[in-house]
Amino acid sequence: MYVGTLSFDLLLGDVRSLKEKRSVVRPIVAELQRKYAVSAAEVDHMDLYRRAQIGLAVVSGDAAHVSDVLDRCERLVAGRPEVELLSVRRRFHGDDD
């Protein structure tokens, strides 16, 4: 069994309230879940309206599949014009861990 995780630190564009923040972050989380069948959620910076941290995890029996899904998720978030990707943290856990 292999588990991969990603953590995205995002700077949101022209957002002036937590309500506007939710309208930017929720569609990203929903698209990640729908397109790639990953577990995803906003995990930090809940009280800051121009920052967000999204975390996701994927589990598979194939290490190459986990790596491919993580790559696709990273490209999806990096390609969103309404957010600036400040950093990405990737972790990979295999049977040897």
CATH of the domain at 81: 3.30.70.1120
Residue 76 has pLDDT above 80, yes or no: yes
Q: Beta 39-44 vs 2-12: how paired, if at all?
A: unpaired
Question: Which range marks the domain in which residue 57 is found?
Answer: 2-93
Residue 57 has pLDDT above 90, yes or no: yes
pTM: 0.89
Residue 47 has pLDDT above 80, yes or no: yes
Closest CA to 50 of 16, 74, 19: 16
Count of the separate structural domains present in the chain:
1
- Are 61 and 4 a contacting pair, CB within 8 Å? no
In sequence order, what are the residues at sequence separation of 6 or more whose Cβ sits closer than 8 angstroms to the Cβ of residue 23?
Answer: none
Split at pLDDT 50, 70, 90, the class of 93 is: very high
